[in-house]
């Protein structure tokens, strides 16, 4: 996942190596620099904190998943595409599971990682052909982040080579999330219509007919 012929790649690999050897909370930047055979000054040229290192590791995983994820087959359900993409991500991360356990246990509540994780979910959704740019796109990203975080915890403790527990949890959460997202998107569509059509849309709801901005008003409609 890392090009260890470059200083940046050696630093990222060394960060995970260090996290696998002891608690991430106890790992210092100089520990990482020394593990990568670099001076601390060289590390500072690329990263100014452990959080910046974690963000780069997430981005490196994104790149590897986008390279390896299977293409969507014609007619394939979007949920199945996402399943394949996320399982590909777990395959990419598998060699670093011990380090990721250490990191998770030390910094699972690190809110500074929210943006990198949402960016990661953006790319996973895009790889599945799912829009993230519309008015519900951010909701999709947040929804997938919730699913991923839940299944990631299962994966960390799943030592079975077939990853049966992980796959079952992922399938279950994606199915549940699909229904929840459908409800959110329907609500989002209503809010979008409210913001664009305004009063005409509200009148249509109360009168039980579709709103048509081009249709003439009923008698007296323009007086209310």
Statement to judge: residues 169 and 71 lie in one domain: yes
Q: Tell me if 170 is assigned to some domain.
A: yes
Please check whether residues 81 and 175 belong to one and the same domain: yes
| Whether the model pTM is above 0.85 | no
Q: CATH number for the domain including 127?
A: 1.10.357
Closest Cα to residue 150, out of 125, 131, 176?
176
As a whole-number percent, the residues of the chain with pLDDT over 70 amount to 78
- Residue 61 vs residue 178, higher pLDDT: 61
Q: Are residues 73 and 100 in the same domain?
A: yes
Residue 179 lies in a domain: yes
* pLDDT reading at 109 higher than 90: no
CATH of the domain at 41: 1.10.10
Same domain, 44 and 84: no
172 and 72 belong to one structural domain? yes
Q: Does residue 38 sit in the same domain as residue 14? A: yes
Which has the minimum average pLDDT: 3-12, 88-97, 132-141?
A: 132-141
**Is there a domain that residue 214 lies in?**
no
Last residue of a domain, one of 48, 65, 85: 48
Domain count, the chain: 2
Question: Is residue 223 over pLDDT 50?
Answer: no
E-strand ranges in the chain read none
Looking at the fold, whether 20 and 85 belong to one and the same domain comes out as: no
Clarify whether residues 100 and 143 are in a common domain.
yes
DSSP secondary structure string for all residues of 143-185: HHHHHHHHHHHHHHT---TT-HHHHHHHHHHHHHHHHHHHHHH
Residue 223 in any domain: the answer is no
pLDDT score recorded for residue 136 = 81
Together in a domain, 17 and 69: no
Q: Are residues 30 and 92 in the same domain?
A: no
Residues 165, 81: one domain?
A: yes
Which stretch of 19-33, 155-169, 184-198 has the lowest confidence by average pLDDT? 184-198
Q: Identify the helix (H) or strand (E) that includes residue 35.
A: helix 29-35
Q: Looking at the structure, do residues 77 and 123 belong to the same domain, yes or no?
A: yes
Question: Is position 221 within any domain?
Answer: no
Closest CA to 184 of 149, 148, 134: 134
b/e string for 133-150 if b means 16 or more Cβ within 10 A? eeebeebbbbbbbebbee
Range of the domain at 136: 57-208
* Closest listed residue to residue 152, CA positions, set 162, 172, 166: 166
DSSP 70: P
Q: What is the pLDDT of residues 172-192, one digit of tens each?
A: 999 987 765 555 554 445 444
């Amino acid at each position: 996942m890392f090009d260890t012929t470059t200083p940046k790649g050696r630093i990222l690999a060394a960060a995970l190596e260090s996290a696998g050897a002891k608690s991430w909370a106890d790992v210092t930047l100089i520990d990482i620099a020394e593990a990568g055979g670099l001076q601390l000054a060289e590390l500072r040229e690329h990263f100014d904190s452990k959080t910046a290192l974690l963000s780069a590791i997430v981005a490196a995983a994104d790149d590897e998943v986008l390279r390896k994820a299977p293409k969507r087959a014609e007619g394939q359900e979007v949920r199945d595409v996402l399943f394949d993409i996320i399982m590909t991500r777990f395959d990419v991360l598998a060699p670093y599971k011990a380090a990721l356990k250490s990191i998770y246990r030390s910094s699972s509540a690190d809110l500074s990682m929210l943006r990198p994780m949402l960016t990661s979910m953006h790319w996973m959704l895009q790889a599945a052909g799912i829009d993230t740019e519309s008015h519900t796109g951010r909701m999709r990203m947040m929804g997938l982040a919730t699913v991923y975080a839940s299944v990631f915890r299962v994966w960390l403790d799943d030592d079975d080579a077939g990853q049966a527990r992980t796959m079952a949890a992922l399938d279950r959460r994606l199915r549940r999330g699909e229904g929840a997202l459908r409800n959110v998107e329907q609500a989002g569509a209503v809010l979008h219509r409210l913001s664009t059509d305004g009063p005409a849309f509200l009148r249509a709801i109360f009168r039980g007919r579709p709103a048509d901005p081009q249709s003439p008003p009923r008698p007296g409609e323009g007086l209310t």
